[in-house]
Amino acid sequence: VPTVAVVGRPNVGKSTLVNRILGRRAAVVQDEPGVTRDRIAYDAEWAGKQFSLVDTGGWDPDADGMAKSIAYQAELAMRTADVIVFVVDSRVGPTDADEAAVKILRSTQKPVVLVANKVDSERQESEVHDLWSLGLGEPFPISALHGRNSGDLLDKIVWAFPEVPTGKLKERGPRRIALVGRPNVGKSSLLNRIAGEDRAVVDNVAGTTVDPVDSLVEIDGEDWILVDTAGLRKRVKFASGTEYYAALRTEAAVEAAEVALVLLDASEPISEQDQRVLTQVVESGRALVLAFNKWDLVDEDRRYYLEKEIDRELGQVSWAPRVNVSALTGRAVEKVARSLRVALQGWGQRITTGELNQWISTLQAATPHPTRSGKAPKVIYATQAAAEPPRFILFTNAPFEKQYLKFIQRKLREDFGFPGTPIELVVKPRE
């Protein structure tokens, strides 16, 4: 959903406006400027459109000067919001701090709505003309306290939302899989098991481009595109520099895919070469499913040791779904599709800004970051900046320790899942 950030000096009426938009007294209104609030993002709706409303007033200016603090707010809004609502007190007129924010806001491509607050009557509307000098276009006069013009303002805000690209709403074609793994783990065998020896390599799929090297296959009643399978079919094996070419080929296949199906040989120890393939996949940011092949060769003993090896060696991908298959017997091959779906779902998963901020403030209240020189570093605002793979930005008041980030990441997975996908956490400490 689009994010709307409300920016402005303390006491211009940001929280009152946020309350007005939410239609309830959810945001805490403070009389003294500069009081930090934990929860600053809310899920809101107007004219049937959902959006996330962010009250940046929580950004405490106690440490810095007012102008610096508001400049930071503006920057934060520019980076994370789709629409910026810049609130000015019409009774005071533009101040130096307002000018500082405007300087930054002018450089953004994003729509900025200039709101002149505290216009409680029509007579006062003439006073807003001063605000034209800010260079943000026409000031929109409202009274957040009395609700004057607030409906019109909301119309203006939701009209400014970026168009959802229609292509994204269209159903996608078949999802793209890269079948990778070190030589001899059984890639060609599995491909043949899934696709059959003589299935056409190139198919015409509506709305999707299929490369001549790709195959359209059906697994568990669903169409999938297996990328770069020509090499597997032709059993291209290089005499020298095998690993180098294999790595290049893996990279190309993974880049062209959405999800990597990494095949390992369950009958043999997990090797360094397996690890290198896995690292390649994790670094590519694609979804990942692990398939242990040659399961027909696995007896009780081997199974016991394999589980130990997995615990010991595969920590970097402990979040990946796992299937035990046999290309030889066809065991559990249809289960591969289910795991691929799970991984793709985790890869594309999104948490709303409101939900995320609520979650993180609860988490921090229960388990705060270890204090450093008497203060606990804190996430002030968090947002999921991207999906496929999920990427989170944490705006903090100080640098974070690796351990605590790992903790947040672990909790994210515990509470929201994100199976089959790497997660990226980016920390942006102020200054």
**Contact set with ligand GDP (CB under 6 A):** 181, 183-189, 232, 293-294, 296-297, 326-328
Q: Give the residue with the Cβ less far from ligand GDP, 141 or 186.
A: 186
Question: In 10 A of CB 137, how many CB atoms?
Answer: 12
- Strand pairing partners for 73? none
| 290 contacts 322 by C-beta, under 8 angstroms | yes
Shortest Å, Cβ 327 to ligand GDP: 4
Q: Give the residue with the Cβ less far from ligand GDP, 20 or 294.
A: 294
296 labelled binding-site residue: yes
Length of the chain: 431
417 labelled binding-site residue: no
Question: Beta strand pairing status for 41-46 and 49-55?
Answer: antiparallel
120 labelled binding-site residue: yes
118 labelled binding-site residue: yes
Helix ranges restricted to H, 213-260: 230-234, 242-256
241 labelled binding-site residue: no
216 labelled binding-site residue: no
Q: Give the residue with the Cβ less far from ligand GDP, 123 or 235.
A: 235
Q: Give the residue with the Cβ less far from ligand GDP, 90 or 188.
A: 188
Task: Please provide the DSSP assignment of 310-342 as one string.
Answer: HHHH-GGGTTS-EEE--TTT-TTTTHHHHHHHH
Helix ranges restricted to H, 137-211: 150-159, 166-169, 187-195
Would you state the structure tokens that stand for residue 190, as one six-digit string?
Answer: 């599995």
57 labelled binding-site residue: yes
Shortest Å, Cβ 285 to ligand GDP: 24
Shortest Å, Cβ 197 to ligand GDP: 12
Q: Give the residue with the Cβ less far from ligand GDP, 173 or 231.
A: 231
Q: Give the residue with the Cβ less far from ligand GDP, 9 or 294.
A: 294
Shortest Å, Cβ 329 to ligand GDP: 7
Q: Output the residue with the shortest Cβ distance to ligand GDP.
A: 186
| 299 contacts 261 by C-beta, under 8 angstroms | no
User: How many Å apart are CA 391 and CA 115, to the nearest integer?
Assistant: 32
Q: Give the residue with the Cβ less far from ligand GDP, 235 or 312.
A: 235
Query: Of the candidates 185, 90, 102, which has an alpha carbon nearest to the alpha carbon of residue 144?
Result: 90
Query: Of the candidates 328, 339, 271, 272, which has an alpha carbon nearest to the alpha carbon of residue 295?
Result: 328
**Alpha carbon of 169 to those of 83, 148, 243: distances in Å?**
21, 36, 41
Shortest Å, Cβ 237 to ligand GDP: 8
| 325 contacts 392 by C-beta, under 8 angstroms | no
117 labelled binding-site residue: yes
58 labelled binding-site residue: yes
Shortest Å, Cβ 263 to ligand GDP: 6
User: How many Å apart are CA 330 and CA 252, to the nearest integer?
Assistant: 28
Shortest Å, Cβ 254 to ligand GDP: 15
Q: Would you list which residues are annotated within the binding site?
A: 8-15, 55-59, 117-120, 181-188, 228-232, 293-296
Q: Would you list which residues are annotated within the binding site for GTP?
A: 8-15, 55-59, 117-120, 181-188, 228-232, 293-296
